[in-house]
Chains A and B, each alone.
Chain A
């Protein structure tokens, strides 16, 4: 219940945060909403020497349109995303995903950047940002770089963030044309984490055939991933029952599914298949 001692800094700017982090890249941790880190600290599984609280950098919390992109600041809370009218209009997958994270208290304080940087294997955001093909903007002592979501999630709780780097922004290409979306999840009855979570971004041709399907999967493997097998199987199809049934089978291709007390690996795969289908059907049904 009680964390080990640490030092605390609340820089006013991101630059300050980067230089603080550079002072001790191993012992320092970035604190955003704290909803992944603080529970681990209370169990003393994480004992950082220094917490750099970026929650006070006001300029890091935003949702805005810029050209054909949606820019989301790292410390934007789940609730801000859930309740954003702009996003409901132009990128409804994000609010839908946000709504299924944890509970209202967690959504009020937890941040999208914290969640993505922590890369919990059962976190919700990784699935959504993968499905939306997001770019993640990382800033470090040597400047800024952009990493594709697909390359960002490396392994269990392990990302492309180099020591000393901070996730600053999530950039998403504004969905255009005829698109549908869905995030469907089996929450663990105790923790609320995704046993399986499927995010779908679906683009249709004028004849209602599938132009492109992007599917982010969380909960199934040690890290979130794009279900390329499903995506490839759907491309060009009419998205009818048979096409979806044929495609859903590929959702666990190439991954070694997790197995735990609640769900064995083959049951998890079954859930992934079923929820892939349900998410696809839901996405198809809400195409504008």
Chain B
């Protein structure tokens, strides 16, 4: 399944890039990421407990950063297996300096297998989009802090609320 879009982050491109390659930040941004341990250069073992609503699953697997071209490009490759099946994906992220921050353009491919693939047909795309939004919203919050500052609080729910208020703002901006 193809997944693409753009996100506007209110932070400088270099700062955003730093966040993207910082495993601690990544762990906080990836929805439900409970563990992200470095196992090799740019390679991490991950445990992700994630889902939407009452639908939840635990995935164990790896995350890898590839094609690093600071500060404009990187690729994230994830591969995990868990109780409801497996998920695999890779996404190319392009960072552009924009007027008041950074514009991230992402284009990825997500594959799911097992139960989630065979029963979740009508929800998979929505879930993927939602997760991407959560990720970038959290990333935006992280990038808005300065290096050395305590990280922002953004549990699952807070992230959603923040995203929701951002969305409301957008709606108003459009009108």
Residues of A within 8 A of B157 (CB): 162-163
Chain B 118-151: CB-based contact to A (< 8 A → 1; otherwise 0): 0111110111011001000000000000000000
Q: Which of B78-134 contact A (CB under 8 A)?
A: 83-84, 115-116, 119-123, 125-127, 129-130, 133
Residues of B within 8 A of A256 (CB): 129
Binding site for A on B (CB under 8 A): 51-57, 83-84, 115-116, 119-123, 125-127, 129-130, 133, 157, 160-161, 163-164, 171, 174
Contact status B125-A45, CB under 8 Å? no
Chain A 23-59: CB-based contact to B (< 8 A → 1; otherwise 0): 0000001000000110010011111100000000000
Binding site for B on A (CB under 8 A): 29, 36-37, 40, 43-48, 118-119, 121-122, 154-158, 162-163, 188, 191, 193, 222, 254, 256, 258-262
Other 17 A-B pairs with CB < 8 A, given A118-B53, A157-B55, A254-B174: A44-B83, A45-B51, A45-B55, A45-B84, A45-B115, A46-B56, A122-B122, A156-B52, A156-B127, A158-B53, A158-B160, A256-B129, A258-B122, A259-B125, A260-B121, A260-B125, A262-B122
Q: Among A48, A155, A163, which residue has its beta carbon within 8 angstroms of that of B54?
A: A48
Q: Write the nearest CB–CB distance from A263 to chain B, whole angstroms.
A: 10
Interface of A is mostly: loop
Give Cα A88–Cα B45 distance, bound, in whole angstroms. 58
Q: Write the nearest CB–CB distance from B137 to chain A, whole angstroms.
A: 11
Contact status B171-A40, CB under 8 Å? no
Instruction: Report the nearest A residue to B84, measured CB to CB.
Output: A45
Instruction: Report the nearest A residue to B128, measured CB to CB.
Output: A156
10 nearest interchain CB pairs? A157-B53, A222-B126, A46-B54, A156-B126, A157-B52, A260-B122, A45-B55, A156-B130, A156-B52, A154-B164
Contact status A155-B174, CB under 8 Å? no
Contact status B52-A45, CB under 8 Å? no
Q: Which of A44, A45, A121, A156 has the most CB of B within 10 A?
A: A45
Contact status A155-B119, CB under 8 Å? no
Q: Among A36, A122, A258, which residue has its beta carbon within 8 angstroms of that of B125?
A: A258
Give Cα A119–Cα B55 distance, bound, in whole angstroms. 12
Q: Which of B53, B57, B119, B157 has the most CB of A within 10 A?
A: B53
- Beyond A155-B130, A155-B164, whether A118 also contacts B123 by CB under 8 A is no
Q: Write the nearest CB–CB distance from A68 to chain B, whole angstroms.
A: 28
Contact status A45-B130, CB under 8 Å? no
Residues of B within 8 A of A119 (CB): 53
Give Cα A158–Cα B53 distance, bound, in whole angstroms. 6
Residues of B within 8 A of A40 (CB): 54-55
Contact status B160-A222, CB under 8 Å? no
Contact status A44-B84, CB under 8 Å? yes
Give Cα A261–Cα B125 distance, bound, in whole angstroms. 11
Give Cα A251–Cα B164 distance, bound, in whole angstroms. 20
Q: Which of A29, A46, A155, A258 has the most CB of B within 10 A?
A: A155
Give Cα A29–Cα B56 distance, bound, in whole angstroms. 12
Contact status B126-A121, CB under 8 Å? yes
Q: Among B52, B57, B116, B121, which residue has its beta carbon within 8 angstroms of that of A158?
A: B52
Residues of A within 8 A of B163 (CB): 155
Q: Write the nearest CB–CB distance from A197 to chain B, whole angstroms.
A: 14
